Each structure stands twice: as structure tokens, then as C-alpha cells.
Amino acid sequence: MSLKKKATKGSIWTSLTRSGINVVDFLVYAYLARVLTLEEFGLAGFCFLFIEFANTLVNAGVNQNLVQRDKWEDRYAASTMTFVAGMGVVVVLGILGIGAPIAYFSYSELAAWVVASLAPITLVTSLQVVVSGKLLREFKNKQMGVAKFCATLISATTIVILAEIGYGLWALIIGKLVNAVVQYLLLIYVAKFKPYFHFNRDDNKELIQFCLPLFGMTVMNFLHRKASNLFTGIVLGPASFALLAAAHKGATVINQVTMSSINAMVVPSFSRVKEREKLGALYIKMVTITAVMVCPIFMGLAAVADPFVVVAFGDKFAPSATFMTISAFSIFPSVVAWFLPNLLISNAKTGDAFRLTLLNLFTNIGVAGTTIWFGIEVMLTCMVIGAFLSLPVRLWIVNKHVQIDFKSLTKSLLPPSISALLMFFFLMMLKTHLEGQFQSDVLILLILVFLGALLYPLFLFGLFLRSAKLHTLELKAMFLKGEAKR
């Protein structure tokens, strides 16, 4: 099977399984949004940020290191597992000694107990890293995805059962722990890999040399992505945090299913492309196809935010709709910038990948930290504007190593972008009319989704027929035909 076919198949399976996982997660999220109070919901989400951050510390760059090596060696994998597990222990101690006290003094004693109870997840995650790297290297996305989906189902069932019998907030905590343990056991099974520990100083030096720039990049990327949530939780409290988290949930699900699935295959596929001068053209092709698929979804989400939030999370989350609409417009710079760090990593340019993430961090942290005091709407609007303004700098950094034809990139992105925007404006006008005709939010949501599915291809093929045909052929080539080996 050709490299492109393997990468495409891997992306498809990653997307399919992530779709299943995110649907289950979303249903559980919506259920808990109705069961818990805004304060409880926000508190759980804010505390879990500590664990998400800890997980980035133990996972930073390790998968990429295992994937890009010429050969797989069990000895090296064992050395990596020893190193990462040691980091996991250190980070867990940090959560207990630093994270829990911060939660205690920032929020409450309950928050401290929640953070401490979630800490074992990081240790289990550290043990998963090498196993996941082996599966990614071998393009076994199907097996890995199925394992994670099964773990998610077991976790979701646990959460719902415990919530129904009165465990409240702790149902979510226990469910997260169950998910981590079950996922690790299933990944070991599908990888056919027997983990063991081995220490080698030279292996550790290689690992540190490769991962150190990525470590800083991953940490900063986390802070960049979570800047708005962090400042909202710290400045405005758990209730406002819950409203913003609900607003981001739809976009997060879409990202996981689409761009994150494709992004996971950038390093394994691009690092094996022999004709390096073609990377720029391949990047443009990837970004364009991604834009064709995700821009209408995000703009559709922006248009249906009002009925969607009420139907999914309940009336108490109604303010989240405005936040969701504003945030959706970040898709236009994001679809270009999303793959840039991994494009550099595939060329072993981890230093500039680090600088790229540093730029993202300063942009989001700076904007969020200075504008949250004026309200969430102002903060989100400024963050979208900041993403557009910083995009040329990001492309300039990448262009030093991978030649990207900016004119071709712009020309390729205009058709899906314009078509998605036209769909958005038409849906907004139709929504105003529908709200006067129907009282049911569910019915309005279904009608808008149906109309959006008709309007986007109508605009794309009606206004940009030639480009639309090329995109259709490219999608067929990717998902049906494959190509000869590179």
C-alpha cells in the first residue's frame, strides 16, 4: 500500500473513531450539563485543566520521536517508557504538591480534592505514550481508535450510572479514572507489545535532544489553546468558565474529528516524502481539502448556535451561543495555521516549530489576559482578530524551510471560505424568519442544518465550479483510488 494511501486510511479511521468517541463524550457532557449546577460543572472543567496540562508534560514530542526514527527497537522503546514513566511520577507529585494547593486557595477544598483525585490519570497516560507511538508508526489507527472508543463507552456508562445514583460531581471524576486505566489495557492488547523498563543514558540523551524543543512547544500550545478558558476561570469564576466551555465544546468536537485527525498523520506521512521540494504543494493541497470540509461546518455551527446550545445543554447555557458564534470565525486563520508546527517537525525543524508555538502563545495569552476584564465577548472577538493578524508571521517562519506559494494558497482557499460565509449569512437571515414561525428549537435547528447542507455545495459549485470539480476529484483520489508509492 502506498504511503499516501496508508496516511489517508489512517486519517479516515482516526476520524471515524474520534467521531464515535466525541459523540459519546458530547452526550455525556450534555447530560452532565443538565444534572450539575453551573458552578459544579465549571469547577470540574477548571480542575481538569490541571490534568490536561500535566498530560502534555509527559507526552510532549515522545510519539513524534518514536514515529520518525528509521527503525523500531524494543530496547529503545523500553528506555523511552522508563523515562516517560519517571516524568509521570514527578508530574503527579507536582499536581499533589502544587496543583491541589492552588485549587484550594483559588477555589475551595472540594476543588483541591478533585485535582488530587484526578492525578493518577497522568501516571497512566505516561504509560500509554510508547504504546500509542508504536501504533501510530505502524499506521494502526483502526486498532488504536477502536480501543479508545471501547474505553470511552465503558467510561460513559460508568459516569451515567454513578450520576443517576447520586454521586454528582464524583461520577465524572471516577469515570475519567476508569477511562484512563481501561484505555491503557486495551492499547497494550491491540499493539501486541509487552512493555518493560530499561535504562540507557544514550537513549535518554537522544530523546531529550529531540523532545526538548517540542516539550516547550507542547506546553505553550496548551496554554495558547486554553488561554481564554484559564483567564475566564481565574477572573470571572466557575459559572462563566462553564458557559465558555460549553461554547467551545462544539468546535472542540469538530476539531477532533477533522483537523486533529488529519494533523496526527502529518509527521508520519510528510517525514517519509522523499522529494522534499514538493512539501509546500502537498501542504496547500491538505489545507484546501481540509477547508472544503471544515469551513462550512464551523460557519454552520456559528449560524445555529442559539438553538443548538439550548437543545444540547439547556436554557441555563443560552449565553454560550454568542460566544460560540464569535469563536467560530477563528476557523479561517486556524485552517491555515493548524498543520504548520507538524510540517516543521516532519522536517526535523523543531526549533522553528517551537518559535511558531511561542508566537501563538504570546498572541493568545496577551490578548486574553488584557481583554477578559471587558467581558468574554470582547476577549473572543479580539482573539479572532489576533489570529488573523499573526498568520502572515507564522507563514513567514515556515517558509524559511518549506516553500509555500502564498498566491496559490490564497487562491485555493477563497472558494470554500466565500461559500461558507455566504451560507452563514443566508442561514442567519433564515433563522430570524424561522424563529417567528416556529416555537420549537429542535425543529428550527433541524431545518437550519438541512438548509445549510444544501446551500454550501450550491454556492461552491455555483460560483466556483472549476475549483469545486478539482476538490471533488482530489477527495476521490485520496479516499478511493490512492496513488503510486512515492
- H or E element: which one contains 166? none
End-to-end CA distance of the chain: 11
Nearest Cα to Cα of residue 334 among 278, 294, 368, 369: 294
C-alpha to C-alpha distance for 303 and 432, rounded to whole angstroms: 11
- Vertex 382: Cα angle to 214 and 364 (nearest 5): 15
Q: What is the DSSP letter of 373?
A: G
State the pLDDT at residue 249. 82
C-alpha to C-alpha distance for 376 and 125, rounded to whole angstroms: 33
Nearest Cα to Cα of residue 111 among 244, 226, 238: 238
> Can you say whether the dihedral through the CA atoms of 29, 34, 37, 38 is positive or negative?
positive
Q: Determine whether 164 is exposed, middle or buried from the number of CB atoms within 10 Å of its CB (0-12, 13-18, 19+).
A: exposed
Locate 321 and state its grid cell. Answer: 451561543
C-alpha to C-alpha distance for 328 and 216, rounded to whole angstroms: 27
C-alpha to C-alpha distance for 318 and 436, rounded to whole angstroms: 18
C-alpha to C-alpha distance for 151 and 155, rounded to whole angstroms: 6
Angle between helices 320-328 and 376-399 (to 10 degrees): 20
C-alpha to C-alpha distance for 176 and 344, rounded to whole angstroms: 33
Nearest Cα to Cα of residue 119 among 175, 173, 70: 173
C-alpha to C-alpha distance for 303 and 434, rounded to whole angstroms: 13
Asked if residue 313 lies in contact with residue 269, where contact means CB atoms within 8 angstroms, the answer is: no
Nearest Cα to Cα of residue 399 among 412, 411, 387, 408: 408
> Can you say whether the dihedral through the CA atoms of 127, 131, 136, 140 is positive or negative?
negative
Nearest Cα to Cα of residue 299 among 445, 461, 416, 470: 416
Q: Determine whether 306 is exposed, middle or buried from the number of CB atoms within 10 Å of its CB (0-12, 13-18, 19+).
A: buried
Locate 304 and state its grid cell. Answer: 445555529
Give pLDDT tens digits along the chain (486 positions).
554 555 555 556 666 777 788 888 888 888 888 888 888 888 888 888 888 888 877 776 666 666 666 677 777 778 878 888 888 888 889 888 888 888 888 778 888 898 899 999 988 888 888 888 777 777 677 778 888 889 999 999 999 999 999 888 899 999 999 999 999 899 888 877 777 777 777 766 767 766 666 676 677 777 777 888 888 888 888 888 888 888 888 777 776 666 555 555 554 555 555 555 667 778 888 888 888 888 999 999 999 999 999 888 888 888 999 999 999 999 999 888 887 877 777 676 767 777 787 787 788 888 999 999 999 999 999 999 999 998 998 888 888 887 888 888 899 999 999 999 999 999 999 998 898 888 888 999 999 999 999 999 999 999 999 888 887 777 666 555 444 344
State the pLDDT at residue 13. 64
Nearest Cα to Cα of residue 437 among 448, 426, 449: 448
DSSP annotation string for 423-452: HHHHHHHHHHHHHHH---HHHHHHHHHHHH
Asked if residue 265 lies in contact with residue 11, where contact means CB atoms within 8 angstroms, the answer is: yes
CB within 8 Å of 202: residues ≥ 6 apart: none
CB within 8 Å of 157: residues ≥ 6 apart: none
Could you give the C-alpha distances from 333 to 303, 337, 382, 484, in angstroms and in order? 19, 6, 14, 32
Category of 346 on φ-ψ map: left (φ > 0), alpha (ψ -120 to 50) or beta: alpha
Category of 314 on φ-ψ map: left (φ > 0), alpha (ψ -120 to 50) or beta: left
Domain ranges of the chain: 21-199, 212-486
CB count in 10 Å sphere of residue 353: 28
Mapped onto helix, strand or coil, the DSSP state of residue 395 is helix
The half-sphere exposure of 342 on its side-chain side, counting CA atoms within 13 A, is 25
